[in-house]
Chains A and B, each alone.
Chain A
């Protein structure tokens, strides 16, 4: 069977007219798409470009010559010679009727709704259409007395059914984008309600709080608790950046207003295609943490705020006298900060005792690296020793999307994973290898025991056209050997933990045990999550928030949060993701590398970052602000 894309690329264009204007479309395109490409605006409501067409709101109805009734532009495919009108009296009357009907169904009292606003600033697509069509009163007044439930059982968002227009964008997003299938429609006809699972409160449902439903909701039915009542998104500032929540490196669009982060949307144009996880969309906005605002020094057992000069002098003095200094950086650090940190140790402290707080990277030598798109398109997915749904959630959702399209899933793991119930084949790690096995032994093994795990795994991959293997760290060499022996068409994706662990690994930084007199930790906005720092006589920390880590520090420098940072990091695909400052940092909090260079200066040992970046192999091998010493 040919796919749509193939048709699109080879078939000749389709000529049609819309409102008398000649338009050229491509086969497989809808009238709406062809019209949009030609700059003809056809209003829509249930339609969303990222979602499969629904054709249910009937706002985009058009008249097509020789077609009975009116047809939805969002779903009707273009055809040669088609004559379309979207501007006739009948079309406009039908559109107004649809809007009037929607307004009559539930109490859409705009003045009480947080997305409501004037014609230029409303976040509500329904209200915007009402403005556009001059609907300023109810032809069919809604029954105001009828109460509609509000589901506030989720931490980050609320579902208010009185504002729901049943466009089902959320249902489609939950199914087609997040592949989670939590949302559905309960009952039928006028009793229809959006529901989670079998009518469970969202908080008790299988919802994973990815928030994609919020991002597509055209009205105020799905309300982001953080953003609610803090201003209109359409008039806010939108910044395209990357999420630093994990190593997937999702593209985001941050909405800010007055240097406050209102909301984070998934970037539709990024490889994650608008999809985010709870961490990226909501937890990043969770501002309950206590910010480190000034340098601090421990005096009489307690950390006390001090001036920059005093802190730098004190730390420089301590470093100068130290017998040994070790450095640990968070894998959430940008590559630029990690480079500066490494240079600081190598050149200023003449030490190579530098490593990561955590974030081991599995070997990257198994074969061609898969992209996120490869995962979503895969027809066979193998997960070995990891759980993307736990640690690389968006990757897990993309894998589920592939499964929805009929991909087969093999899970090779000794621990339970979130995808076990979708697995077509479930294997234990030792069934694909055993301790000490060489590739040769494995080969023999698979010959003689055809029913063994490795042969089953191989046969799954062999029958697939686009297999992807995702693998975690800490696998035995035998398992790695077995994976390396998989057919060439296989693409591999390491399940890296720690946002920039891959970038760190490329710099030669890895988690390591340290035992030094002085410990320098580059924490940034990372959280300990149960990890303890190694013991040292004197601990210097560079952190954005007060945590259990900073409690142990003897000297503390403030740092910027991810939203204030500029720089880059390498994601699991090995793709460089860019951090763009979304918010203005507090004026006296410097980038990490600036603090380090100032410290070096205080030690009278200034260092040049440019030397590293001149190296063509370096991840910094492009002009950067950071290359200019301050």
Chain B
């Protein structure tokens, strides 16, 4: 049907009010975040309807929560059953005019998928709903919760009628057992079995209780059902009561749910009125009544024995089980307790049969699971999915992925007592057993997604704070253990943690789990333990390095930009100095941690900018270009690095010689830092010019060679000797360096230069040249050393891969005159590793590079030389450990791409042919094995840079250079190996401008060379800021570091 036009209903006689083409149903969660704006929209709509002569009562209705809260306020338009999202009062006029009176949909209000261009008009077509199966939520948003007739019209109370007239209680229990329904409160006990035990308990009277004490932060599954479909719960309870032989039921609902309580009261009254509750229901002789009990908001009252104590009027605390409530429960009588969702599903199971229910989901966890999906996910809200769906499907398909395309980090299931699962668990099926096997729990249905801005230690601490505060205080392990656990975690997040704290955490957690009285205490350590299991590195870096990579732990994070910089460059300080025009001082601060300001001002992926808090307001500060501007101002004044240690230490060091193999960023930085500590350093470079990948893997249009040379000269001025054309294994060996040549220590910074192979037929044909080789040949040709640049003129060039090398090769080939340049990438475009430089890909597109994604080469074509490549199409399959969907070949979907040249750039490993006889170990990934102190198994031989970490960025190599220098220095001075910390005193530059004046300022566009000027030229594409732009931009920095300085001063004052 054409959704652009709605059919008008037939109009037999003109009625007195004007006709209307659609009714509106606005979402109506009373306490949700959008409640206020929803009310404003409702007001505006009522006003507009009045103005149009329409009766608001007839047209507009406040409906229940639809779960799509992130897009709220949401409004259903019926017919045709579509959703308007993100409404404002300003939309009211248009809605009434166009949709209500005119019958036309307003496209801009329709729900839009984050990554899709097309708006989706029908609610059921939204991916948010498409993968869902609604059993517990089937009536939510469909029936009016305050009208029992609505419920009855949707088969309501037919299940009760069926059991009362056709099924003896034993049959009901058999049906429930066969359905395999497991308690949706989280423990997953078989509901039918529980009913049976309760029925078989000798004592009477018996009771049924509905556990509606939903206390997980951010979870609102039960609330939504109670608010939107209370009768389903009443009916389920009545069926349960009939099956076990109870005459009285209780709903224990927390008082924080006033609307749920209100709707329940209405529903109970209406059910009474209709004879569906009370004496002799439907003339069957079965009598059952339900009483509502309000809980006071203690989380532990969700535990069944605590809940019973609370219903009885005692302090809500659990007691040891057995005896279980089914044997001795409320007032010592057999009592059946189920969760809201279990009861809500019951009528459907009775009506449609056990087989229907068990056909949904998995054999061990039949049916559906209801989740409140929250956190860093695009579509937050309430969902119901068949058991067995993968976590990744829930998060990326229904949830729409992570906002702003940030990396997925973890998902916490089971609420504050659950566990967090990392990316490697995204393929885990959502069901009771699989989740607990994976290290989390099903719980009652909270699902919180976090991205890489979340510190897992802090997250664990957050959940633990909640659990510890909610401990009832009865049993020792939970009351005290939870507190001790929290203290240990707090120490870690504040940088006071020790390795002993880690041991303590494990000890306490293990004992709490086995020794606590109830599930609250047993599950309290869950988040901590799962965080430790999957993210132990984060704990260690908090403890050993005092670093919180996610930038969340305040005491450890001076500013997010500093924290996210691998080299820890003091960004706010140099930005402040740049703003003040004090470039030399700013550069001095930069060089304390990174000597390559000119280089990084051009070729750094700028991790800092992605974490810049200004970006949360408008756009991040253009830190990289400001760095470039600052460094450019000082080009004329060469830098002579100064010693950083005391004279006597310099003197002691000056007798030692250190050899560094490789003159890339890691090697040169290590050389500089060691020279600054007094050592005599020699750097060996196998090529004819120094700089490593900085000098040849980054084409000149990104990084002009003379700038790099200027910064290498700085390092020479520190006393570092650089010897070119000397290759390890060819010209010298490690033994020779340490023996014959008298070097006291050796740092291997040989990089990762050997290309990975594609492993397909024809890979070695003429015309195939790997990316590294290509770039090196190009650089040699452009250097004084000479040589021929790869000849691609007029040719069709294919580049395989999606990393930085692939993009650099593609753009360089285009500059060298290639006729066509194709980038072939096996994953989806947004998953390219080079996306950490998105402007690179964009620039490549502008320059005419064609991208082929979700294809993989399977054969290089051609008899003599390359004539093309056979590509196989891929589809996205399961998730891999990087939270990206793995490409899966589509067997018969292949096509050939005609090419003259194929350049694979599918990753590199270190060249380690020389290492065979030198006791140097390599890992399976090809990288060198080092310990915490960057030392190889061979004494005195250290390693750093890409050779250790695998291909990374310049700034990461610089960071390793800093660290390895400290480690070498420490070893030479003390003879011991120690995990190094590269420490510099942070500057504290006072703020000298009024931030408010720059509140409205925006990040300037980056000036670039026009595309037409780039063909055939290796001229720098990016142009720097002019002085005024730079000055303005530097003032946009919010100076987050000042808050940290204040905090540190305050805590220092406190400890005094």
* Interface residues, chain A, with chain B CB atoms under 8 Å away: 1, 53-58, 61, 69-72, 75-77, 90, 93-94, 97-98, 101-102, 104-105, 139-140, 166, 168, 184-185, 187-192
CB distance from A432 to the nearest CB of B (A): 33
Partner of A105, one of B469, B480, B513: B480
What DSSP secondary structure best describes chain B's contact surface? Answer: helix
Bound-complex Cα distance A117 to B434 (A): 53
| B475–A56 touching, CB < 8 Å | yes
| B315–A57 touching, CB < 8 Å | no
CB distance from B365 to the nearest CB of A (A): 19
Bound-complex Cα distance A104 to B516 (A): 17
| A188–B515 touching, CB < 8 Å | no
Residues on A with C-beta less than 8 A from B508 are: 97
Partner of B473, one of A54, A93, A140, A190: A190
Q: Chain A CB within 10 Å — which of B322, B469, B511, B516 has the most?
A: B511
Closest to B332 in A: A1
User: Taking the complex as formed, is B468 at the interface, i.e. its CB lies under 8 A from any CB of chain A?
Assistant: yes
| A69–B522 touching, CB < 8 Å | yes
Residues on A with C-beta less than 8 A from B320 are: 53, 55, 71-72, 75-76
Residues on B with C-beta less than 8 A from A189 are: 468-473, 479, 482-483
CB pairs A–B below 8 angstroms (24 shown) = A1-B203, A54-B474, A58-B476, A58-B517, A70-B514, A75-B319, A97-B515, A98-B477, A98-B511, A98-B515, A101-B476, A101-B477, A101-B481, A104-B480, A105-B479, A105-B483, A140-B484, A166-B473, A166-B479, A187-B473, A188-B298, A188-B300, A189-B469, A191-B473
Residues on A with C-beta less than 8 A from B475 are: 55-58
| B511–A93 touching, CB < 8 Å | yes
Closest to A74 in B: B320
Residues on B with C-beta less than 8 A from A104 are: 480, 484
Partner of B507, one of A75, A97, A184: A97
Bound-complex Cα distance A69 to B478 (A): 14
* Also in contact, A55 and B319, with CB within 8 A (given A101-B481, A101-B484): yes
User: Taking the complex as formed, is B504 at the interface, i.e. its CB lies under 8 A from any CB of chain A?
Assistant: yes
User: Taking the complex as formed, is B323 at the interface, i.e. its CB lies under 8 A from any CB of chain A?
Assistant: yes
Residues on B with C-beta less than 8 A from A57 are: 475-476
| A190–B480 touching, CB < 8 Å | yes
Q: Chain A CB within 10 Å — which of B319, B323, B474 has the most?
A: B474
CB distance from B513 to the nearest CB of A (A): 7
| A69–B514 touching, CB < 8 Å | yes
CB distance from B1053 to the nearest CB of A (A): 18
Bound-complex Cα distance A349 to B789 (A): 144
Closest to A193 in B: B473
Residues on B with C-beta less than 8 A from A72 are: 320, 517
CB distance from B267 to the nearest CB of A (A): 32
Bound-complex Cα distance A205 to B513 (A): 38
CB distance from A92 to the nearest CB of B (A): 12
* Also in contact, A190 and B514, with CB within 8 A (given A55-B319, A97-B507): no
CB distance from B114 to the nearest CB of A (A): 41
Q: Which of B449-502 contact A (CB under 8 A)?
A: 468-477, 479-484
CB distance from B164 to the nearest CB of A (A): 29
CB distance from B305 to the nearest CB of A (A): 11
Interface residues on B, range: 20 to 34
Residues on A with C-beta less than 8 A from B470 are: 188-189
CB distance from B186 to the nearest CB of A (A): 15
Residues on B with C-beta less than 8 A from A69 are: 513-516, 522
Residues on B with C-beta less than 8 A from A61 are: 515
Bound-complex Cα distance A166 to B320 (A): 17
CB distance from B160 to the nearest CB of A (A): 30
Bound-complex Cα distance A139 to B488 (A): 13
Give 5 A-B pairs besides A188-B300, A192-B473 with Cβ atoms closer than 8 angstroms.
A75-B320, A94-B515, A105-B483, A189-B469, A190-B468
| A192–B511 touching, CB < 8 Å | no
Bound-complex Cα distance A70 to B521 (A): 13
Bound-complex Cα distance A191 to B315 (A): 15
CB distance from A165 to the nearest CB of B (A): 8
Residues on B with C-beta less than 8 A from A70 are: 514-515
CB distance from B296 to the nearest CB of A (A): 11
Partner of B315, one of A54, A77, A97, A185: A185
Closest to A168 in B: B474
Closest to B480 in A: A101
Residues on B with C-beta less than 8 A from A187 are: 473
Residues on B with C-beta less than 8 A from A93 are: 511
* Also in contact, A140 and B476, with CB within 8 A (given A90-B514, A98-B515, A190-B468): no
Residues on A with C-beta less than 8 A from B482 are: 189-190
CB distance from B966 to the nearest CB of A (A): 34
| A190–B504 touching, CB < 8 Å | no
| A192–B515 touching, CB < 8 Å | no
CB distance from B466 to the nearest CB of A (A): 11
CB distance from A416 to the nearest CB of B (A): 27
| B477–A58 touching, CB < 8 Å | yes
| B319–A97 touching, CB < 8 Å | no
Residues on A with C-beta less than 8 A from B507 are: 97
Bound-complex Cα distance A93 to B512 (A): 12
CB distance from A62 to the nearest CB of B (A): 11
| B511–A56 touching, CB < 8 Å | no
- Shortest 5 CB-CB contacts between residues of A and residues of B: A192-B473, A55-B320, A189-B471, A101-B480, A75-B320
Closest to B471 in A: A189
| A76–B322 touching, CB < 8 Å | yes
Bound-complex Cα distance A588 to B48 (A): 108
CB distance from A51 to the nearest CB of B (A): 14
| A140–B504 touching, CB < 8 Å | yes
Bound-complex Cα distance A29 to B891 (A): 68
| B480–A102 touching, CB < 8 Å | yes
| A94–B473 touching, CB < 8 Å | no
CB distance from B210 to the nearest CB of A (A): 24
Residues on A with C-beta less than 8 A from B203 are: 1
Bound-complex Cα distance A385 to B320 (A): 44
Bound-complex Cα distance A61 to B298 (A): 27
Bound-complex Cα distance A94 to B479 (A): 15
Bound-complex Cα distance A56 to B515 (A): 10
CB distance from B504 to the nearest CB of A (A): 7
Residues on B with C-beta less than 8 A from A54 are: 474
| B480–A56 touching, CB < 8 Å | no
| A192–B479 touching, CB < 8 Å | yes
| B477–A97 touching, CB < 8 Å | yes
Bound-complex Cα distance A93 to B511 (A): 8
Residues on B with C-beta less than 8 A from A56 are: 474-476, 517
CB distance from B972 to the nearest CB of A (A): 39
Q: Chain B CB within 10 Å — which of A53, A98, A101 has the most?
A: A101
* Also in contact, A98 and B472, with CB within 8 A (given A1-B203, A76-B322, A104-B484): no
Partner of A190, one of B322, B471, B517: B471
Residues on A with C-beta less than 8 A from B513 are: 69
Q: Which of B281-301 contact A (CB under 8 A)?
A: 298, 300
| B483–A190 touching, CB < 8 Å | yes
Residues on B with C-beta less than 8 A from A188 are: 298, 300, 470-473
